């Protein structure tokens, strides 16, 4: 089996949790932890206290955006993005490796665009406030993409440095 | 349109990750063919991730991770073993029954496939079942996971089609049970013909003790399914309750996880969430370009030009999904294809919920077909059995899946009947 295909099989064993947690994973876990806590509180308020929270939905939405993009950067490091590896399973190894490297360069260009364009867009969109909490939209909504794409660039370059991997 | 689709297919075929392939195609399209600012792509991708419907996703993924980490799976397997281990082909029934119960906790096939497979494949081959057959039953039974609610596939489908998650969940129940029942029938005949061994006689004491052992674990699917089917809570809230319950019994009742395990569990579920969400976000940008470019009427007239019969359309689309399912991950097919099909569905008067069930069943076949067939590889590595051996034994289960798929496609009542009752 081509090493590329390992991307696709998340739960190899029952406990496939990584051996160690990088700080980025810790931040990611904290974001999901926050979402879980807020939602539990919200359900508690709604069904037990009959008193719906107004701020929870907006906060969860914004946390969820950060979770999506930060997780995407981390999944580059862990080679966990979903993709089609059919071509790589039929090609000889050195060709498959070449194409994989090319794909990483293509992704790197795109991530670079997301970073630079994202910061530019953040600057353009400044001033708008979210409707319930009054948080700056450009930071909490549009900010997620450029910051995490920068991290994604970093992880992609790290993978490109390794000669035989990918 | 042609450019968008061709560049997407080329990039995906080369092996660029699907999310980035979608984003890059959209970006190139904006850059080459329109006067718009390229920043539109950035804005659309950001807004694509802003979806309160999809917040249900991490909760059901987390429930799946917790289910295995807390040890709910092992307890359920033991209970099912004591319950029906002693009939002919009993161990296959244990696998299928456990998967049905676990399907009511987790929304994905992979989690239960790996967990049950790692226990049951060795147990079955030790009892004298052929290894290939044991693996095949485990992989096939795991497909029940995504059709019985909760289901990740339905959450994705709901977010791209605007169908109600609650209704989709209810609609998936009966097809899921039908699928389980037919798999049991098939495995009964195979076991009977091959004279597979019958486990020792039913032991009342073991039954009692395994029931006591699994009681709190058994309550988890009851709470989730009960909450969803009764309509007391929304789908997302059912996920929240499931996670809360799973954490509670894991931390304080079974004491099988500790607080310091939580970051690992959360990070794992968050990464799984992101794998799907990043595709949805980038598909939002891609879909926006498509909808800007393509008149929905032209897609409809394209199909009608081919045939005006809705059943021809249905067969055709099933065929397309089955073929795509062999080379592409199911959720991504749903995200890319559904928006294009919506106008056609409306034109033919096909119910969105009904179509969602058919779509989900069709992509489930792809979980079992090489070279992608995730379940084959998961069970193969969890149960230490080669994919080749499994493939020799799996064809009866393909047949079951296809029969259920066609039944659901042409008898909408199977999926919509319960939805009607609940209303």
Measured between CB atoms, which of B266, B278, B378 is closest to A9?
A: B378
Q: Is A24 on the interface with B (CB under 8 A)?
A: no
Identify the residue whose tokens are 């395994």.
B210
State whether B55 and A39 contact (CB < 8 Å). Answer: yes
CA–CA separation, B227 vs B50, rounded Å? 26
State whether A28 and B19 contact (CB < 8 Å). Answer: no
pLDDT tens, position by position, B58-95 = 999 999 888 888 888 888 888 888 888 777 778 899 99
Region of poorest pLDDT, from A37-46, A80-89, A145-154, B403-412: A80-89
CB < 8 Å to A117, chain B: 38-39, 41-42
Residue A134, Ramachandran bin (φ over 0: left; ψ between -120 and 50: alpha; else beta): left
Residue A18, pLDDT above cutoff 90: no
Residue B21 distance to chain A (closest CA, Å): 8
Measured between CB atoms, which of A21, A68, A117 is closest to B42?
A: A117
Residue B195 distance to chain A (closest CA, Å): 31
Residue B405, pLDDT above cutoff 90: yes
CA–CA separation, B154 vs B152, rounded Å? 5
CA B109 to chain centre: 5
Give the residue from A64, A24, A21 showing the smallest Cα distance to A151: A24
Tell me which of A46, A59, A60, A83 to substitute to probe the interface with B (most B C-beta atoms closer than 10 Å): A83
Nearest CA in chain B to A44: B241
Residue B173, pLDDT above cutoff 70: yes
Contacts 24+ apart (CB under 8 A), B40-44: B40/B285, B41/A117, B41/B285, B42/A114, B42/A117, B42/A118, B42/A121, B42/A142, B42/A145, B43/A121, B43/A142, B44/B284, B44/B285, B44/B288
Nearest CA in chain B to A88: B15
State whether A9 and B377 contact (CB < 8 Å). Answer: yes
Give the residue from B234, B170, B253, B249 showing the smallest Cα distance to A47: B234
Region of poorest pLDDT, from A12-26, A46-60, B263-277: A12-26
Residue B321 distance to chain A (closest CA, Å): 15
Measured between CB atoms, which of B41, B233, B270 is closest to A32?
A: B270
Q: Is A60 on the interface with B (CB under 8 A)?
A: yes
Q: Is A48 on the interface with B (CB under 8 A)?
A: no
CA–CA separation, A100 vs B152, rounded Å? 29
CA–CA separation, B214 vs B204, rounded Å? 15
pLDDT tens, position by position, B201-257 = 677 888 899 899 899 999 988 988 888 888 888 889 999 999 999 999 999 999 888
Residue A14, pLDDT above cutoff 60: no
Give the residue from B401, B376, B379 showing the smallest Cα distance to B182: B401
CA-to-CA separations, B197 to B27, B87, B124, B127, B173, in angstroms, rounded: 60, 9, 10, 7, 32
- HSE of A56 in the Cβ direction (CA atoms, 13 Å)? 17
Question: Regarding predicted confidence, which is higher, B268 or B308?
Answer: B268
Before B401, cis peptide (omega within 30)? no
In the beta sheet, which residues pair with residue A126?
none
Identify the residue whose tokens are 């080379």.
B327
SS3 B328: coil
CA–CA separation, A156 vs A112, rounded Å? 11
CA–CA separation, B326 vs B423, rounded Å? 37
CA–CA separation, B82 vs A166, rounded Å? 46
Q: Is A26 on the interface with B (CB under 8 A)?
A: yes
State whether A114 and B272 contact (CB < 8 Å). Answer: no
Nearest CA in chain B to A85: B15
State whether A68 and B49 contact (CB < 8 Å). Answer: yes
Nearest CA in chain B to A75: B271
How much helix, strand and coil, in percent to the nearest 5, is found in chain B? 80, 0, 20
State whether A8 and B329 contact (CB < 8 Å). Answer: yes
CA–CA separation, B85 vs A25, rounded Å? 42
Residue B27, pLDDT above cutoff 80: yes
CB < 8 Å to A56, chain B: none
Tell me which of A82, A121, A125, A149 to substitute to probe the interface with B (most B C-beta atoms closer than 10 Å): A82
Tell me which of A14, A41, A74 to substitute to probe the interface with B (most B C-beta atoms closer than 10 Å): A14
State whether A142 and B46 contact (CB < 8 Å). Answer: yes
DSSP string, B191-247: HHHHTPPPPSPP-HHHHHHHHHHHHHHHHHHHHHHHHHHHTSS-HHHHHHHHHHHHH
CA–CA separation, A125 vs A123, rounded Å? 6
Q: Which DSSP state fits A12?
A: S
**Is residue B418 within 8 Å of residue B156, measured between CB atoms?**
no
Residue A122 distance to chain B (closest CA, Å): 10
User: What is the structure's pLDDT at B340?
Assistant: 87
Residue A4, pLDDT above cutoff 70: no
CB < 8 Å to A8, chain B: 329, 372, 374, 377
Residue B223 distance to chain A (closest CA, Å): 15
CA–CA separation, A42 vs A148, rounded Å? 28
**Is residue B277 within 8 Å of residue A61, measured between CB atoms?**
no
Cβ atoms within 10 A of the Cβ of B271, count?
A: 24
User: What is the structure's pLDDT at B356?
Assistant: 96
Length of chain B: 423
Give the residue from B23, B277, B222 showing the smallest Cα distance to A32: B277
Kindly tell me the burial class for residue A76, based on how many C-beta atoms sit within 10 Å of its own C-beta (0-12, 13-18, 19 or more). buried
Q: Per-residue confidence at B2, pLDDT binned at 50, 70, 90?
A: confident
Region of poorest pLDDT, from B26-30, B90-94, B302-306, B349-353: B302-306
Q: Count interface pairs A-B at CB distance under 8 A.
A: 241
State whether A29 and B24 contact (CB < 8 Å). Answer: no
CA–CA separation, B137 vs B99, rounded Å? 11
Before B150, cis peptide (omega within 30)? yes
Give the residue from B145, B118, B129 showing the smallest Cα distance to B91: B129
Question: Regarding predicted confidence, which is higher, B291 or A74?
Answer: A74
State whether A43 and B43 contact (CB < 8 Å). Answer: no
pLDDT tens, position by position, B103-116 = 988 878 887 888 88
Find the distance separating the first CA and the last CA of chain B, reported in whole Å. 40
Tokens of B278: 């990043």
Quote the pTM value: 0.89
pLDDT tens, position by position, B322-331 = 998 888 888 8
Give the residue from A164, A154, A161 showing the smallest Cα distance to A77: A154
């Amino acid at each position: 089996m081509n090493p590329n295909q390992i991307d696709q099989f998340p739960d190899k064993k029952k406990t496939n949790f990584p051996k160690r947690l990088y700080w980025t994973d810790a931040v990611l876990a904290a974001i999901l932890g926050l979402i879980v806590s807020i939602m539990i509180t919200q359900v508690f308020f709604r069904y037990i206290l009959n008193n719906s929270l107004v701020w929870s939905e907006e906060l969860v939405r914004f946390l969820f955006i950060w979770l999506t993009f930060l997780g995407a950067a981390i999944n580059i490091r862990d080679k966990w993005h979903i993709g089609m590896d059919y071509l790589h399973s039929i090609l000889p190894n050195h060709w498959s490796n070449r194409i994989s490297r090319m794909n990483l360069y293509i992704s790197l260009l795109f991530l670079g665009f997301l970073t630079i364009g994202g910061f530019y867009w953040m600057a353009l969109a400044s001033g708008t406030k979210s409707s319930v909490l009054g948080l700056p939209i450009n930071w909490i909504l549009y900010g997620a993409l450029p910051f995490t794409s920068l991290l994604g660039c970093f992880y992609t370059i790290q993978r490109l440095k390794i000669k035989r991997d990918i | 349109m042609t450019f968008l689709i061709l560049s997407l297919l080329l990039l995906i075929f080369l092996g660029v990750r699907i999310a980035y392939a979608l984003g890059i195609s959209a970006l190139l399209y904006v850059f080459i063919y329109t006067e718009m600012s390229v920043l539109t792509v950035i804005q659309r991708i950001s807004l694509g991730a802003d979806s309160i419907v999809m917040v249900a996703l991490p909760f059901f993924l987390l429930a799946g991770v917790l289910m295995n980490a807390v040890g709910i799976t092992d307890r359920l397997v033991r209970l099912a073993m004591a319950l029906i281990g002693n009939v002919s082909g009993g161990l296959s029934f244990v696998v299928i029954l456990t998967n049905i119960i676990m399907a009511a906790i987790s929304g994905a096939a992979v989690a239960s496939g790996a967990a049950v497979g790692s226990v049951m494949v060795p147990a079955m081959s030790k009892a004298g079942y052929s290894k290939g057959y044991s693996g095949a039953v485990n992989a096939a039974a795991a497909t029940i996971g995504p059709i019985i609610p909760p289901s990740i596939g339905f959450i994705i489908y709901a977010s791209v089609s605007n169908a109600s998650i609650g209704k989709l969940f209810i609609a998936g129940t009966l097809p899921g049970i039908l699928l389980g029942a037919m798999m049991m029938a098939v495995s009964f005949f195979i076991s009977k013909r091959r004279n597979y061994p019958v486990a020792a006689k039913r032991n009342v004491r073991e039954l009692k003790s395994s029931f006591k052992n699994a009681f709190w674990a058994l309550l988890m699917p009851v709470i989730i399914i009960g909450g969803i089917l009764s309509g007391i809570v929304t789908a997302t809230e059912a996920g929240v309750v499931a996670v809360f319950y799973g954490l509670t019994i894991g931390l304080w009742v079974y004491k099988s996880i500790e607080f310091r395990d939580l970051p690992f569990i959360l990070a794992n579920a968050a990464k799984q969430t992101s794998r799907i969400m990043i595709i949805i976000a980038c598909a939002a940008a891609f879909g926006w370009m498509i909808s800007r470019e393509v008149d929905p009427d032209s897609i409809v007239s394209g199909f009608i030009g081919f045939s005006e019969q809705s059943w021809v359309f249905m067969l055709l689309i099933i065929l397309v999904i089955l073929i795509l399912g062999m080379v592409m991950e199911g959720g991504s097919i749903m995200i890319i294809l559904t928006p294009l099909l919506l106008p056609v569905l409306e034109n033919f008067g096909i119910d969105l919920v009904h179509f969602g069930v058919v779509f989900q069943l069709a992509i489930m076949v792809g979980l079992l077909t090489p070279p992608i067939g995730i379940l084959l590889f998961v069970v193969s590595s969890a149960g230490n059995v080669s994919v080749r051996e499994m493939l020799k034994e799996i064809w009866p289960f393909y047949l079951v899946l296809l029969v259920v798929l066609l039944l659901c496609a042409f008898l909408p009542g199977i999926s919509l009947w319960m939805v009607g009752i609940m209303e």
